Chains A and B, each alone.
Chain A
Amino acid sequence: MASVTIENVRKAFGETEVIHGVDIAIADGEFVVLVGPSGCGKSTLLRMIAGLESITAGEVKIAERVVNRLPAKARDIAMVFQNYALYPHMTVFENMAFSMRLRKAPAAEVESRVREAAGILGLQPLLQRFPRQLSGGQRQRVAMGRAIVRDPQVFLFDEPLSNLDAKLRVAMRTEIKALHQRVGGTTIYVTHDQIEAMTMADKIVVMQGGNVEQIGAPLELYDAPDNLFVAGFIGSPAMNFLRGRVEADGAGTVFASADGARLPLGERRGLEAGREVVLGFRPEHIALGPDGTGIGVEVVVTEPTGSEVQVVARHGGDEVVAVFRERHQPAPGTRLSLAPDPAQIHVFDAETGRTLRA
């Protein structure tokens, strides 16, 4: 078990810098998910922690020890790869035993450790199989077994579920989380899937373009995103955004869109009249208001799922998605007035994208 500290880490391939000074502190035993769109630098960062990529600048510490110059095998980490990277010519047992055999561990110890890991993952009946004879989910478990056998200080996962079908992905998600609770160990997990991040993480690191956008617990990011990017990336269906400006209205201020929507904003810093802002509100924080108030929209599609109804509508040029627990079923073309919960709206500076907090 160990903490991991990433201090002002940069990575450049030749002239091109792809990670621009990242700071992340990971506590002992924490499950941290690095999430972001492809090309955001999350996998590169993970590979730098693993020792598969050199660190251009900054420091990576594992258990308070700077590992920048340590080879991968001396960092006491284990990694699970997206394509599993199982050795095709070795049986499941040999795959899991490989690292211990390289260290010339006694055969009895190898045997007991592999059997123990196989027991945790339910792999005992498959130990003599070759990777080709396994299903995707089984291969994934072998890859995890190989990591467990090493008993490392830090587990690294590089998009381990993206080669699996949707149903299996959900099952393995649960399995990995249960495994973490059972085995413990600091875990750093890379994914582009925000649902995986939300469901599995103790702490999420949202990255974009080689920068960290926000670090926090899943619900923290959900309820209080720091900026437009995080607000749009976390949550499905995504947060609605309307462009508009702040206008004075008696004592307070209101948000006014070009298409006639007006919403009171309450007390927020930096909300002088005339400022260009983006209003954000989540689909599930919308109620139907009296006609002629709030946000006037025209219904495009209504999608009932049974537990809820998702209504896709248009407000001028912007799309607005609303999710109702009630069984509203407005026909396409119907005009509705949407009233976002005032306590749950977010206001972002249109220019910088930063959140203007209440």
Chain B
Amino acid sequence: MAETPLETARRAAAPDDAASAWTRLQSNRNWLGFWFMLPAAAFLILFLAYPLGLGVWLSFTDAKVGSEGEWIGLENYEWLLGVAPVSDFLGIIANELFGTEFELEGDTTFWLSVFNTLLYTVVASAIKFAIGLYLALLLNRHMPFKAIIRAVVLIPFIVPTVLSAIAFWWIFDTQFSILTWMLQGLGAIAEDHQINWLGDETMARASVIFANIWRGVPFIAITLLAGLQTVSASLYEAAVIDGATRWQMFRYITYPLLTPIIAVVMTFSVLFTFTDFQLIWVLTRGGPFNATHLMATLSYQRAILGGYLGEGAAISTAMIPFLLAAIMFSWFGLQRRKWQHGGRDD
């Protein structure tokens, strides 16, 4: 019997089960979006979230190489931080900066690595910012061979870190240092005087910071240069007519317009510097007398070389609050600018 018009309409309206998954994919944007997102999400969960979670979990166990370990709660942290972390923290700073001799309750090496990491990050980031900004301002001017010079500036950033670290290892070598040779040639130091670049505690700290600065400046310079190029030239012309000097143009126009980019680039720079490992490991392995041990290198030494996975994981986990603080500072302190947001803030 032939289908009545009503039956035809009902059949058309009813969902067709056989084709429903495909139809749903075609008709529902969110469902389609979910499937497009899935590979990236799986990748992030597998390679970022899982290791992070595993690391945090390990820090609450006494896992060693070859033994899974048992839950021991905060014991690793108690061992590292001691019973009075705040006074230990202040103590190590006083000891290192002012030569006092406070007895620390927690792990002295751990607290030293915290101090080293902060010193390394603060000094290197500040100098990288200053040089990077200066370079960016220079490169933003009209000059011959502009493209080539900009490319050359990027070289330290392109060279693999291990490779440049090995080069610096030679540059800072006790016997064959080209720096020592040059200083001797210039007559700045005596012919037979050798500088113990990586053997002396202060010199070693300065040397690794120098190497980190050399490597980090291009990233900051090129990113800030990109930011500078978004500033319309007519703003500077208007400022010239308004009577601004070069310094006033920088202070009142360039710098405020650059702050959002500065916030982003310095956050990244601080994160990279705080978690640095390769440079230190190639140059000093944390020595001499742990003077250049960073939290990352100490964690590696304890966990992988020493076999105390739980303790190493606890040192790594202890970095998280510092990194979060850096991100929060940039996010709330620098990045939000009322003038960027149009009418919403009014």
Contact = CB atoms under 8 A, between A and B. Distances in A.
B237 A85 contact: yes
Interface of A: 50-52, 71-73, 77-79, 81-83, 85-90, 98-99, 102-103, 129-133, 146, 150
B257 A133 contact: no
A81 B237 contact: yes
Given A71-B240, A81-B234, A88-B339, 6 more contacts: A52-B241, A73-B240, A83-B234, A98-B239, A99-B241, A129-B346
B234 A99 contact: no
Interface stretch (B242-250, B263-271, B280-288): B242-250
A146 B238 CA distance: 10
Contact of B253 (A51, A87, A103, A129): A87
A51 to B, nearest CB: 7
Contact of A98 (B234, B242, B257, B343): B242
A73 B242 contact: yes
A79 B241 CA distance: 7
Q: Which 9 A-B pairs have the closest CB atoms?
A: A73-B243, A99-B242, A85-B234, A85-B238, A130-B339, A89-B339, A89-B256, A132-B342, A72-B240
Nearest to A149: B242
Contact of A73 (B234, B241, B343, B346): B241
A88 B241 contact: no
B337 interface: yes
B232 A83 contact: yes
A90 B238 CA distance: 14
Nearest to B253: A87
Interface of A is mostly: loop
Nearest to A152: B241
Contacts of A78: 241
B241 A50 contact: yes
B64 to A, nearest CB: 56
Contacts of B342: 130, 132-133
Interface of B is mostly: helix
Contacts of B341: 132
B235 interface: yes
B240 A52 contact: yes
Given A83-B232, A133-B342, A133-B346, A89 B337 contact: yes
B224 to A, nearest CB: 17
B243 A99 contact: yes
A86 B235 CA distance: 7
27 contacts: A50-B241, A52-B241, A71-B240, A72-B240, A72-B243, A73-B242, A77-B241, A78-B241, A79-B237, A81-B234, A82-B234, A85-B234, A85-B235, A85-B238, A87-B238, A87-B253, A88-B257, A88-B339, A89-B256, A90-B339, A98-B239, A99-B242, A102-B244, A103-B243, A132-B341, A132-B343, A150-B242
Given A89-B337, A133-B343, A98 B240 contact: no
A133 B237 CA distance: 23
Given A87-B253, A88-B257, A72 B339 contact: no
Contact of B243 (A86, A87, A102): A102
A106 to B, nearest CB: 16
